[in-house]
Amino acid sequence: MRLFPGSFRKCKLVSTPVFEAIVSAGLVSTALVFAAQLLVAGALLLSNAAAQEAGDATPPPEPPPPTVVFQNPIPADQLAFLNDYAGKTAKDIQKDKRFRNLMKKVIPSTTYHYGRDMPLSETSGTLLDGAPLPIDIREGRYVMVGSHGGPYLHGRGFVWFDMKDGIALGGVYFHPVNGEPTPTLAIYSRQLKDTAISMGQLPLAFAQDVSQWALIAGVPAITTRYFIPGNGKKYVLVHDEDYCWHPDNAPAPPVGECEEMNADAADIDLNAADFMAQTNHAANATAWMLSPAQVAWIATRNQSCGMGANGLACRIRVTRQRTRVLLV
């Protein structure tokens, strides 16, 4: 599976009544929303192949990877009750037995480390029970249930449904203090069977809604990301975004800044891949440090690529290549 595709994927920005109400309430400034949505638009696009060093020919773009296939769609009659909770909160819906039964179809059965080892279902429930956000239903089908604060370690959580296609994904975000890369966002779904995916392979509507949740909940645009499929193990959710992308009718972001973001995302994926390789993809893995081989490779990369714009492009390219090797 190709993890770093080269063609752009068009998208549209979304705005919902709940999101607009949150902006009006002052939780997020209008200027920040505009700036963040431009970043989100770029983040939803598949990145071009990294530039070669000066004087080298640019390689042809790779085709986009296939979108993931969700197993065992949830019947529509088991999701219809979600409409009754539009505008209410996660605390409200978690009292509903139908929602608790539904989550059993969504959350993989595995042990996760959120401050301590606990079932992933307990982590999700704890975070959804935190500082609540209004439940948002968009286009009559996409449901976002989320929180913007948990009891400790800056935790936040969400669960997202597509009532038409019968699919669901959840997410838990926090700042680990056990030695693993931090902060971290783990996306989960019992309906996923893949063990190697990038963000661009997940549904576009999901990426749009998660980006708005992240903006409101204070989750950084670039952070360590994993996904936990039905087998209960944890894998790197690769950044395939191009943070230098911008709409045709908008000014381009400063090249140096956006390329630094692309480089940071590549480094984060590399460290996460090294962590997963050392811990055999355990969802509750702890106590990580860069392997000696990784430390030596980073030193060689930095010396070989050098400084400046060409050096940064080299660093992005070879780091992504290295990450691909670790993810095999």
Give the model's pLDDT for residue 21.
Answer: 57
Residue 267 in this model has a pLDDT that exceeds 90: yes
User: Residues 89, 284, 168, 98: is their CA dihedral positive or negative?
Assistant: negative
Q: Would you list the domain boundaries of the chain?
A: 17-327
Nearest of 131, 177, 181 to residue 158 by alpha carbon: 131
Rounded mean pLDDT, 278-304: 89
Give the model's pLDDT for residue 35.
Answer: 42
List pLDDT tens digits, range 211-237: 999 999 999 989 999 999 999 999 999
Give the model's pLDDT for residue 308.
Answer: 77
List pLDDT tens digits, range 46-72: 333 333 343 444 555 567 778 999 999
Rounded mean pLDDT, 94-107: 97
Start-end of H helices in 14-150 = 17-24, 30-43, 90-93, 97-104, 120-128
| Tokens found for residue 22 | 């949150």
Rounded mean pLDDT, 175-202: 94
Residue 268 in this model has a pLDDT that exceeds 90: yes
Give the model's pLDDT for residue 179.
Answer: 79
Provide DSSP, 230-274.
Answer: TT---EEEE----TT---TTSPPPPHHHHHHHHHHHHHHHHHHHH
Report how far residue 64's alpha carbon sits from residue 10's, in angstroms, rounded to the nearest whole number.
Answer: 12
Confidence of residue 36 (pLDDT cuts 50, 70, 90): very low
Give the model's pLDDT for residue 46.
Answer: 31
Give the model's pLDDT for residue 202.
Answer: 97
Report how far residue 38's alpha carbon sits from residue 16's, in angstroms, rounded to the nearest whole number.
Answer: 17
Residues 218/223/224/229 CA torsion (nearest 10 deg): 60
- Report pTM: 0.82
Give the model's pLDDT for residue 34.
Answer: 39
